[in-house]
Amino acid sequence: MVIAYATSYCARDGMAAQQHTVDILVVGSGAGAMTAALRAACENKSVLIVEKAAKYGGTSATSGGGLWIPCNHLLPSVGIDDSRDNALKYLRQLCGTDVANRSIEAFVDNGRRMLEWLEENSHVRYMAMQHYADYYQELDGAAPGGRSIDPYPYSAQELGDEFLNMQDNHVQTKVMGMMGYTNIEGAILLSKSPGWFRLVLKLALDYFMDIPGRLKSRKSRRLTMGNALIGRLRRSLLDKNVPLWLNSPAKSLLVENGRVCGAVIERAGERLEVRADAVVLGSGGFEHNQTLREQYLPQPTQAEWSSASPTNTGDMLLAGLEAGAATHLMDEAWWGPSITLPGEDRSRQLFTERSMPGCIMVNRAGKRFFNESVAYTTAVQAMQKSGNTPAYVIFDSRYKREYPFGPLLPDAMHLNWLQPSRFKHILTSASSIDALATKLGISGSLSETVSRFNTFAAQGKDQDFKRGENAYDLLYGDVRISPNPCLAPIEEGPFYAMEVYPGDIGTKGGLLTNEYAQVLDTSGAPIAGLYAIGNTAASVTGRYYPGAGATLGPAMTFGFIAAEHAVSG
C-alpha cells in the first residue's frame, strides 16, 4: 500500500504553515481511533493519527480493555444465546429516551461485524466472559454474561521498540504496580475461586522469570487488558504503515464552505495544516478540564477524581463547538467511585472492593444508602444524591486480611511492606466503630448501621438494599462465604475507613452524532467531513452503563462505522 503525503507550504493568516494532505486524519490514539484508522487503511486510504500525549493509547490503553458487544460471535463458546431483539429491548429501556433509535440499532448491528472484521484483518483477539453479567439484571433482555469480552494477552515483543511508546496500564490493573492480569484472571483472584493461589504464583513466576524484560524495566511484557488491546491494534497499524505522531495535539479544525477539510496540528513547536477528506475525532472526553467539568457536570466535581488520561481536556469538543456542532448529555460521565492517592496523576476506581463481604459504604450521616455491589456508574448516581459526598467505605480487620483494597494487598499476603511509604497511611483506623465515626466526623450512629448490617450478614439477606441477590453482585463476592458471598459481618477490630468521591473513568457527553458517527450541527444536519467517536461524542448508551466494556465497545464500533462511511463518501 502506498501512503501518499503531499507536503507543501501555504500562507494563512500571515503565517507560513507546513501543509500535509492525507485521506483520513484521526485525532487521538485510543481504541476507537485506532480501529477507525485501521479500517480506513485497509481500504488503501492514506491515514494519519495525531496524538497529543507523549505516548499512544489514551485511557483505552490504561483500561480493562473489555468490550460490550451484544450478539457477538464468541457467545456460543460459553453457551449463552443472544439475539438482536433482546439486545435492542435491553438498550431501549436504558437509553431509548435519550438516544436516537437508529444509533442504537447501528451499534447492535455493527458491533459484531466490527469484531469479526478485526479478528480477520488484525491481531485483535478476544474471549467471552461467561460470568460477566450485564449491569441491569432486572431489565428485560439483560444477559447473564458473554456480551462482555476480554482481550487475549499479547507479547510486548511483537511491538519491538514501539512498546515503549505505549501508555502503561493504569496502576490499579497490576498487582503491586507490576504484574498485569486479564479480566477473567482478576475475577478468579478477587472471588478466591478455586485455583486462585496457583494463579498468583503463575503470574509472579512469569513476571520474574522474564529476565530480559526485568533487566530493561519493571514494565511487564505480558500485555493484558487495555495494553493488550492497544498493543494488538498498534501492531496491526504498523503492519499497514500507518503513521502515528506523538506530542502532536490538534489545535483547531479547518473548515471551508461548511466542510471540515483538516485540522491544525502543533508539532515540535510548528503549526502544521493537515488537510484531509475526513477528520475522525477520537480525542477522549473533557475529564481533566476543571472549567468544563464545573460548567457541565453535577457538583461537586473535581478533575482529580477522574481515572482517565490527563491529556483529555476536551480540546476537540471545543473545536467541534466552534464548527457549529450540537452537543448532548453534557452532564453525564461513565461514573465510578474513586479514591485519590498521593503522588498519582489520576484517581483509582473502587470497581470491586465495595462488593467483597465485610465492608459497607455510608454517607456523612453514617447511613448506608445503596447496594454496595452495584456497578460503578450506578454507585456514583447514588452518591450524587444530597449528603452522600464524600462517602466512606468501612471495613474490619478480617476484610483487610482477606481482600485487596486500593493499592493494599490482603494483609495475609504479608507483602505490603514492599509498597511505597506514601500508601502507609491512606486508611483511617480505630479500635472501635464509635471511635472511627468520631475520627471521620460522621454525625449519625455508625454503630447502629454496622450492627443492623451484621444482622443481615448473619441471615445472608440484605433487607435494606438486596446486596448479593443478582448475578452481577455475585461477580465480586467471595465464593467461600455463605449463605451470601457479598455479606459478612464487620466485627473484628481494628476498623478501617477511606473517603470515596464521585469520580469517573471518562465523561460521556459530547458532540452529537448520527448513526454513521457524523457530527451534527444544531439544525440536525451532518457537518460534512467531520466524525466523532468514543468520549468525544455523546454516548450511544445514554445515561447508563449497560455492561462491562460499554465505553470501548461503542467507541470501536463507531470508529469502524465512521471509517467505512468516510471512505465510501
Ligand X SMILES: Cc1cc2nc3c(=O)[nH]c(=O)nc-3n(C[C@H](O)[C@H](O)[C@H](O)COP(=O)(O)OP(=O)(O)OC[C@H]3O[C@@H](n4cnc5c(N)ncnc54)[C@H](O)[C@@H]3O)c2cc1C
Q: Return the number of the residue (46 or 349) whose C-beta is nearest ligand X.
A: 349
Q: How far is the CB of 533 from ligand X (least distance, A)?
A: 7
Q: Return the number of the residue (203 or 244) whose C-beta is nearest ligand X.
A: 244
DSSP string of 239-302?
A: HTT--EESS--EEEEEEETTEEEEEEEEETTEEEEEEEEEEEE----STT-HHHHHHHSPSS--
Q: Can you tell me the distance from the alpha carbon of 430 to that of 425, in angstroms, rounded to the nearest whole number? A: 13
Asked if the bond preceding 194 is cis, omega within 30° of 0, the reply is no
Residues in Cβ contact with 480 at an 8 Å cutoff, skipping those fewer than 6 apart? 192
Q: Which residues bind ligand X (CB under 6 A)?
A: 27-30, 32-33, 50-53, 58-60, 62-66, 170, 172-173, 249-250, 282-284, 307-309, 311-312, 315-316, 334, 349, 505-506, 534-536, 548-552, 555
DSSP secondary structure code for residue 353 in this structure: G
Number of DSSP helices (H) and strands (E) in the chain, helices first: 16, 24
Q: How far is the CB of 267 from ligand X (least distance, A)?
A: 11
Q: Return the number of the residue (347 or 484) whose C-beta is nearest ligand X.
A: 347
At residue 205, the 3 state secondary structure works out as: helix
At residue 19, the 3 state secondary structure works out as: strand
Per the CB < 8 A criterion, the answer to whether 488 and 398 are in contact is yes
Residues in Cβ contact with 231 at an 8 Å cutoff, skipping those fewer than 6 apart? 154, 156, 158, 159, 163, 166, 223
Q: How far is the CB of 28 from ligand X (least distance, A)?
A: 3
Q: Return the number of the residue (27 or 326) whose C-beta is nearest ligand X.
A: 27
Strand 510-511 relative to strand 327-328: parallel, antiparallel, unpaired? Answer: antiparallel
Q: How far is the CB of 162 from ligand X (least distance, A)?
A: 15
Q: Return the number of the residue (293 or 368) whose C-beta is nearest ligand X.
A: 293
Per the CB < 8 A criterion, the answer to whether 536 and 285 are in contact is yes
Q: How far is the CB of 255 from ligand X (least distance, A)?
A: 16
* CA dihedral over 378, 381, 383, 389, signed as positive or negative: positive
CA dihedral 453, 454, 459, 460 (to 10 degrees): 70
Backbone angles phi, psi at 507, to 5 degrees: -80, 160
Q: Return the number of the residue (181 or 334) whose C-beta is nearest ligand X.
A: 334
Q: Return the number of the residue (297 or 436) whose C-beta is nearest ligand X.
A: 297
Q: How far is the CB of 510 from ligand X (least distance, A)?
A: 9
Q: In 384-534, where does DSSP find H-type helix?
A: 397-402, 433-440, 446-459, 471-475
E strand spans, 51-188: 67-68, 126-128, 148-151, 154-155, 174-175, 179-180
Q: How far is the CB of 307 from ligand X (least distance, A)?
A: 4
Residues in Cβ contact with 152 at an 8 Å cutoff, skipping those fewer than 6 apart? 125, 126, 127, 182, 228
Q: How far is the CB of 558 from ligand X (least distance, A)?
A: 10
Q: Return the number of the residue (436 or 552) whose C-beta is nearest ligand X.
A: 552
Q: Return the number of the residue (358 or 534) whose C-beta is nearest ligand X.
A: 534
Q: How far is the CB of 458 from ligand X (least distance, A)?
A: 35
Q: Can you tell me the distance from the alpha carbon of 31 to that of 35, in angstroms, rounded to the nearest whole number? A: 6
Q: Return the number of the residue (318 or 430) whose C-beta is nearest ligand X.
A: 318
Q: Return the number of the residue (93 or 165) whose C-beta is nearest ligand X.
A: 165
DSSP secondary structure code for residue 519 in this structure: E
Q: How far is the CB of 213 from ligand X (least distance, A)?
A: 23
Q: How far is the CB of 292 from ligand X (least distance, A)?
A: 13
Report the DSSP beta bridge partners of residue 155: 222
